[in-house]
Amino acid sequence: MKNICALTMVRNDDFFLKRWVDYYSAQLGAANLYVYFDGEDQIVPDFCDGINVCVRPRTPGLVAAADRGRIDFLSGQAADLLKRYDMVIGTDVDEFLVVDPTLGVSLVEYLSSLPPRTSYSGLGVDVGQHLDREGEIRDDAPFLEQRKYAQLSTRYSKSTVITKPVQWGSGFHRVRNTNFHIQKDLYLFHFGCIDMKRLEAKFSDPDKVATGWSRHLRKRAKTIFNVTEGKVRKWERWVKLARMIQNTVRPPYAWNKPAMFNLKVIVRIPDCFSKTI
């Protein structure tokens, strides 16, 4: 089996960090998790006991500049970790790399079986709250027991797994100067849009407003409206089609990012995923 670790950076988000630590600890082992707290004003929660934690000075700048600073730092950390690990998984704190549960294999088993490549991607699944059918998210039950709808999103088909030192693009969206490969039966679930009330709270967070996040967070809310109002399509057919398109089509401005002809595809997440996260 491959020796695999995961890293993320977080600021003021214990809600998702707790879920991230629980999930990746179960998949990889707590000793193989690396969490970087963005700002020395951050308090490390008790649930981080047993994982590798670094509290560092806050990354300066507004959204775009700070994103670049964070990803440059994480790319450097990943390069160092690859001296000891075969693979590094890099995600935001609200993102989870999941193997199709029907295969009956762990994440480590799945990734260890892949052919040699510089990076691997899961198909992006942007989970949203269906406002007419789903209530406020609870932290005492799996997310995917409470949320059943998502948009298949090129934005979240990220280059999250690397095997060599690379330069990630901001937010892990791509690996610079390297193509990406979306793997069959591998998914990146994004949960930043799972609850409208949580998004509204972020809109009013002075820390986010001061660093220019308001516009970005409002864009995030579109997923909720798309999921609520869109036609729901069959998972099996559309994940296969989306993967094929995204592995082939590129936007004219970025040859190493996926494209999907601006299709807005809403799917119902199969019940087999309900206990995964």
184, two tokens: 């069959």
pLDDT tens, residue by residue, 212-242: 666 666 677 899 999 999 999 999 999 999 9
Q: CA 36, 42, 48, 53: dihedral to nearest 10 degrees?
A: 30
pLDDT tens, residue by residue, 154-199: 999 999 999 999 999 989 988 988 888 999 999 999 999 999 998 8
How much is the pLDDT for 214? Answer: 61
pLDDT tens, residue by residue, 11-65: 999 999 999 999 999 999 999 999 999 999 999 999 999 999 999 999 887 667 7
How much is the pLDDT for 172? Answer: 94
**32 contacts 4 by C-beta, under 8 angstroms:** yes
**182 contacts 123 by C-beta, under 8 angstroms:** yes
**Stated pTM of the model:** 0.94
How much is the pLDDT for 218? Answer: 66
pLDDT mean across residues, the chain: 93
Q: Where residue 121 falls among pLDDT bands split at 50, 70, 90?
A: very high
HEC secondary structure over 186-246: EEEEEEEECCHHHHHHHHCCHHHHHCCCHHHHHHHHHHHHHHHHCCEECHHHHHHHHHHHH
How much is the pLDDT for 212? Answer: 60
Q: Where residue 208 falls among pLDDT bands split at 50, 70, 90?
A: low
pLDDT tens, residue by residue, 78-109: 999 999 999 999 999 999 999 999 999 999 99
pLDDT tens, residue by residue, 237-277: 999 999 999 999 988 777 788 999 989 999 999 999 999 99
Q: Where residue 138 falls among pLDDT bands split at 50, 70, 90?
A: very high
In terms of pLDDT, which residue wins out, 251 or 111?
111
How much is the pLDDT for 200? Answer: 83
241, two tokens: 């089609």
